[in-house]
Structure formats: C-alpha cells, structure tokens
C-alpha cells in the first residue's frame, strides 16, 4: 500500500480520470476525499469505495468558487486533521455542439488534403466561453492548490498533482484555444509552484494526458462518425485510446514516496501522440 492513511483530495473525482484515480488511491490505502459537482456520481463512487473496505468522503464543491473551495478544505481538516495529497483534476472541455463540430473540422484539417483555410475558432469565441473555461480549468487549480499549501507548508509534506493535457503542451487541440490556454496555464503554474516549495517536502507535478476514454471523450467519439473516428485513431501511434487507469497508475506513483525527487515535471501519458 503506497498511500496508506494519506488524506487525498481529488477534484472532479466522480467521473472518468478522477474516478480512476480515486479508486486507485483507495486501493493503495488512502483516505479519499472527492470534490465534485455531481451528487449522484459522487454517491456511486463512494459506495464502490466503501464496499471494497476503503475510506471515502464526498463534498459537493465548485472548484471555480474560492469560498466553496475554502469551506470544503475546512471540512476535510475538521474530519481528518490534514491534507497530504491534492489531485487537481476537475475540468471541462468544449463539449457543447459547437465545440464538437470544431473538433471535427480541426481533425479534418490535420488528416485530409482539403484546401487549407482558417478554422475561425478564436475569432468567433465569446467572452463567456473563454472566461468559463479559464475559471474552472485554471483558476480552480489555483484555488485548490492555495488551500492545500496552507496546510502542507506547516507540516512540510505534501503532494500536488495537476491534470493538464497534451492541449497544454502542443497544438493538437487547436479546436479549443480556451482549453489549450487553461491547460498551458496549468503547466506553467505547476513549474512555478514546484520551484517555490521545492525545499519544503512538498512536490508539485503535472500529468498531461492524451486522448482518454472518459464520458465526454466518448460523447465526442459518438458524434464524430466512423470515418473521423478511424482517422483520430490513426494519429495515435500506440494504436489505442488511453484508459483512465493509464493515468491513475502515474498519479499513484507521483503521490507516493517513490516520487520525492520529482519536482515540477510534466509527464505526458499519451500513446505517442505528442513526443
């Protein structure tokens, strides 16, 4: 058990990648705390962890709300006395109809010989689309990290793992400039904070996943149609889409004491899409 009795907060832990991380952490002996917006999904994973003998707490939390994050961290400290591990995983994609359409048009642009022209994605993006993405996918990481560091700095121990994306380190997701900017921000934030706290027993690292089978990704695949789906698979050298467990295995390592010399690293688990 690599995480025995560690108190681990996982944001967005009710679904997809976060859910896999929560289950893996519980299996490694951690006391798992899930912060998410979906009560129904949180209750399902809480039952799953409890039934297999693990310890779990769920708190309905919007990571984009500073006060909400503060209240939830307070509730965790009240129950467990501390926080050892934080996984900043909660996030949204452009998963509305327009976002999926843009993803398809971008895939066509990079995988077919159609005449090239601007996709006109940035020039038509609304203020709201931009701001909502940055607020959840980037500012939420700051709010939760700040709350965690206040606890970790005093005890000189902590592990923070930020879930970015290949969109934050390459142009592969050029259908979503707001998402790329948020995830690129998470990459830079990871490096800056890791450096700041490096001498205090706290490590901050980042995982930049490639395509992973979570509910919103599956929804995108469904909407793509057979031809685009097979072209998407062709740009993954490993020949398959990633599984949430591919990311969870890495998240276990980065949270464990085996990773005490990993400082500010961006580890991209992506099947070779971006090398």
Asked if 29 touches ligand NAD (CB under 6 A), the answer is no
Task: Report, in Å, the least distance between residue 19 CB and ligand NAD.
Answer: 7
- Tell me if residue 214 falls in helix, strand or coil: coil
Sign for the pseudo-dihedral over CA of 249, 250, 254, 257: positive
Asked if 70 touches ligand NAD (CB under 6 A), the answer is no
Active-site residue set: 179
Site for ligand NAD in 85-104 (CB under 6 A): 89-92
> In this structure, what are the phi and psi dihedrals at residue 182, rounded to the nearest 5 degrees?
-65, -45
- Tell me if residue 32 falls in helix, strand or coil: strand
- Residue number with the shortest CB distance to ligand NAD? 16
Give the binding range for ligand NAD (CB under 6 A) out of 25-33, 56-64, 101-109, 257-265: 56-64
Q: What does the DSSP 8-state code read for residue 207?
A: E
Give the binding range for ligand NAD (CB under 6 A) out of 6-14, 102-110, 149-157, 250-258: 6-14
Among 3, 26, 138, 163, contact with ligand NAD (rule: CB under 6 A): 163
Task: Report, in Å, the least distance between residue 64 CB and ligand NAD.
Answer: 5
Cβ distance to ligand NAD smaller for residue 149 or 176: 176
List % helix, strand, coil for the chain (3-state, nearest 5): 55, 15, 35
Asked if 162 touches ligand NAD (CB under 6 A), the answer is no
Task: Report, in Å, the least distance between residue 33 CB and ligand NAD.
Answer: 13
User: Token digits for 262?
Assistant: 């990993």
Asked if 271 touches ligand NAD (CB under 6 A), the answer is no
Site for ligand NAD in 114-153 (CB under 6 A): 136, 140
Q: Rounded to an integer, what distance in angstroms lies between the CA atom of residue 67 and that of residue 71?
A: 6
- Tell me if residue 46 falls in helix, strand or coil: helix
Query: Which residues fall within 8 angstroms of residue 69, CB to CB, at 6 or more apart?
Result: 35, 61, 62, 63, 140, 143, 144, 147
> In this structure, what are the phi and psi dihedrals at residue 112, rounded to the nearest 5 degrees?
-130, 170
How many residues contact ligand NAD, by CB under 6 A? 31
Task: Report, in Å, the least distance between residue 30 CB and ligand NAD.
Answer: 19
User: Which of these, 104, 82, 96, 88, lies nearest to 30 by C-alpha position?
Assistant: 82
Binding residues for ligand NAD, rule: CB under 6 A, are 11-12, 14-18, 35-38, 41, 61-64, 89-92, 136, 140, 163, 165, 209, 211-212, 214-217
């Amino acid at each position: 058990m690599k995480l025995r009795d560690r108190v681990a907060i996982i944001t967005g832990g009710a679904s997809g990648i976060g859910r896999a991380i929560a289950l893996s952490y519980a299996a490694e002996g951690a006391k798992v705390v899930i912060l998410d917006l979906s009560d129904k999904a949180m209750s399902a994973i809480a039952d799953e962890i409890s039934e297999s003998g693990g310890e779990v707490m769920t708190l309905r939390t919007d990571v984009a709300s500073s006060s909400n994050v503060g209240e939830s961290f307070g509730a965790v400290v009240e129950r467990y006395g501390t926080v050892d591990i934080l996984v900043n995983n909660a996030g949204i994609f452009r998963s509305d109809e327009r976002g999926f359409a843009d993803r398809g048009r971008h895939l066509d642009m990079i995988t077919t010989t159609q005449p090239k022209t601007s996709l006109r994605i940035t020039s038509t993006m609304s203020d709201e689309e931009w701001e909502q993405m940055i607020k959840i996918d980037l500012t939420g990481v700051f709010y939760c990290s700040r709350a965690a560091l206040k606890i970790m700095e005093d005890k000189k121990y902590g592990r923070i793992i930020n879930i970015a994306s290949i969109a934050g380190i390459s142009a592969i997701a050029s259908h979503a400039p707001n998402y790329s900017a948020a995830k690129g921000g998470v990459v830079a934030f990871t490096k800056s904070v890791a450096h700041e706290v490096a001498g205090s027993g706290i490590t901050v690292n980042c995982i930049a996943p490639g395509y992973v089978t979570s509910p919103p990704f599956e929804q995108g695949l469904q909407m793509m149609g057979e031809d685009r789906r097979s072209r998407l698979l062709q740009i993954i050298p490993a020949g398959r889409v990633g599984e949430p467990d591919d990311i969870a295995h890495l998240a276990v390592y980065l949270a464990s004491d085996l990773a005490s010399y990993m400082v500010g690293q961006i580890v991209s688990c992506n099947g070779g899409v971006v090398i």
